[in-house]
Structure 1
Amino acid sequence: MASVGLVAGCRSTVPVGGSSGRPVVLTTFTVLADMASTVAGDRLEVRSIVKQGSEIHGYQPTPSDVQRAIGAALIVENGLGLELWARRFTAAAGEIPTLTLSDGMDPLLISEDAYAGKPNPHAWMSPQRAMLYVDRLEQAFIALDPEGADQFSANAREYRRQLQDLDDELREDLASIPDEHRVLVSCEGAFSYLAHDYGLEEAYLWPVNAESEITPKRMARLIDTVRTRRVPTVFCESTVSDKAQRQVAAASGARFGGTFYVDSLSKSDGPAATLLDLQRHNVKLIREGLSSDGSQG
């Protein structure tokens, strides 16, 4: 598979593949499409392979997905084992150069079950790490379209500023949660980076959605954690069923506090239309849920 380092060297002119006449950049899922679009501005046409609301981990690309990818200038992926299907996809679409945003990053490791020792892929959930994604997008887009360098750099600089403001905001918001309630319980272990950055503990039903089997052992372990730690509120993510987590809430005496967005943005009129909106929506639920006394309504 071609690497992003080959983008500038293999093309003397900017490739054109979109209906707009602009070079097409494909991202593996909607969160990355939002980030890439913000850096690209109006110089590139950014599309997501996986649509809103779809589960990224076990996605199965369709023939129409592959057809739409032919002629693209670049594919942007997360890496860290998130998109296990991406190598087959790029091979089928014609060995499109690929940018892996997590390359060079020191990831947090999963500590439980069959995934123990493997990297947690959800690094974009840390605003500080998301800034590293922006750095790589800026570099790759300049290599792809050198004439747009000033625009890409200006967009990236402004986006990094917004992410730093977000980091400051989230740090202040989450600091208000009482010490005895600082356990974040979700369906997927997708909040490791956020928990690490802002001093929370994390508990979940399964490590990653690719392994979302709800065993009696996992269920019992989480119920015991919620009871023992007197966690007032539990949550789940938008791309999986919340049925099991609602059972955890009922069995433990906690309440179900709402739906997080992690692997997918919402629709444009929803609460998580961008990565910045996604983070603010999630943290609002966390702050409200973990600052309560946990009584069920």
Structure 2
Amino acid sequence: MRRKLVATLAATALVSGLVTACSSEQTHGDKPLVLTTFTILADMAQQVAGDAVDVRSITAPGAEIHGYDPTPSDMAAASDADLVLSNGLGLEHWLDKLLTHSTANRVVATDGIEPISIENTNTPNPHAWMSPALAKVYVDNIINALARLQPESAETFRSNGDHYKQQLEEVDRQLNEGLSSLPQNKRTLVTCEGAFSYLTREAHMHEGYIWPVNSNKEITPSQIRNAAAFTTHHQVPAVFCESTVEPGPHEQLMRETGAADGGTLYVDSLSAPDGPVPTFLDLISYDVNTIVDGLKK
């Protein structure tokens, strides 16, 4: 049975000096306030903005994003925002509730990305940030949004964003070079959740998973059987699981297929500053290296 691990972190300090927007009493001086829906977007925006604006995330490091429920203090904080950055693609079903009292401009960071539907649905998979190639689209949308918000800093935003995109391009290069060293039959990624559909599409990999998206439902025997059949058919040497998922289904899949443990992957949230993935660049680099190393087993 799968249960999502809901983080209980109460820290108000967010990665890279960002502060979680947990109170309407927080002040941001003369700088515009940019509010993001989760920590990954906050870090991206901070890399582009530098010190020009105040960037905050509604959710804390380690929090589960899919089923988040904004608190009254979250909604009060949102009423002070000048700009709200969301992922879109159906991730933040709670966004309208959050912005009940907000007049801030809204920008969807995935604009321009071709969505991938969740298996057997017409609902888009929201995890486009997990492709280092597509993460650059996020950065472009953030650059443009910040430039509209604060035109006098537009050149700084573009310069910061271009540097950041170069770093993401390097991660993408490492992914593709690592995969090119593997036999074709090993270029298949199997995870607990189908959170890597965009990465596998952009990297020309096959993708398998136990379940397509996080939910409160129990794992069914047929889901394990299907994942095991896929893993065996593609001769997958190692299978992976996300940090927010209990190990039971992953361990069962390994027992039924003989596949090795590829490692833990990080998806929906950054860690605390002293954790393994305190920035998005750390997260995507960590996952890419873990995937390539795991598939070499």
Same topology, TM > 0.5: yes
**Aligned pair 1:278/2:283, yes or no?**
yes
Instruction: Give the secondary structure class of the aligned counterpart of 2:99.
Output: helix
Report if the CA contact (8 A) 1:57-1:209 is conserved.
yes
Paired-residue identity, %: 47
**Aligned pair 1:150/2:149, yes or no?**
no
- The letter for the 1-side match of 2:31 is R
Counting only pairs closer than 5 Å after superposition, residues 183-194 of structure 1 correspond to structure 2 as 183-194=188-199
In the aligned structure 1, how far is the partner of 2:164 from the partner of 2:285? 16
Match of 1:159 among 156, 164, 169: 164
| Structure 2 equivalent of residue 96 of structure 1 | 104
Match of 1:46 among 32, 55, 67: 55
**Aligned pair 1:68/2:77, yes or no?**
yes
**Aligned pair 1:24/2:29, yes or no?**
no
> 1:43, CA displacement in angstroms?
0.7
Instruction: Give the secondary structure class of the aligned counterpart of 1:209.
Output: coil
Total equivalences in the alignment: 272
In the aligned structure 2, how far is the partner of 1:94 from the partner of 1:255? 49
Report if the CA contact (8 A) 1:239-1:264 is conserved.
no
Relative distance call for 1:257 and 1:128 in structure 2 (3 A) is closer
| Structure 2 equivalent of residue 109 of structure 1 | 117
Match of 2:220 among 209, 215, 220: 215
In the aligned structure 2, how far is the partner of 1:95 from the partner of 1:207? 35
1:181-211 deviations in Å (ceiling 9; x for gaps): 2221111111111111222111112111146
- Structure 1 residue runs of 4+, over 4 Å off? none
Report if the CA contact (8 A) 1:175-1:198 is conserved.
no
Instruction: Give the secondary structure class of the aligned counterpart of 1:187.
Output: strand
- The letter for the 1-side match of 2:147 is I
Report if the CA contact (8 A) 1:28-1:48 is conserved.
yes
**TM-score, normalised with respect to structure 2:** 0.86
- The letter for the 1-side match of 2:77 is R
Instruction: Give the secondary structure class of the aligned counterpart of 1:53.
Output: coil
- The letter for the 1-side match of 2:36 is T
In the aligned structure 2, how far is the partner of 1:181 from the partner of 1:213? 29
Instruction: Give the secondary structure class of the aligned counterpart of 2:134.
Output: helix
| Structure 1 equivalent of residue 263 of structure 2 | 258
Relative distance call for 1:198 and 1:105 in structure 2 (3 A) is closer
> 1:230, CA displacement in angstroms?
2.5
| Structure 2 equivalent of residue 130 of structure 1 | 135
Instruction: Give the secondary structure class of the aligned counterpart of 2:75.
Output: helix
- Higher helix proportion, which one? 1
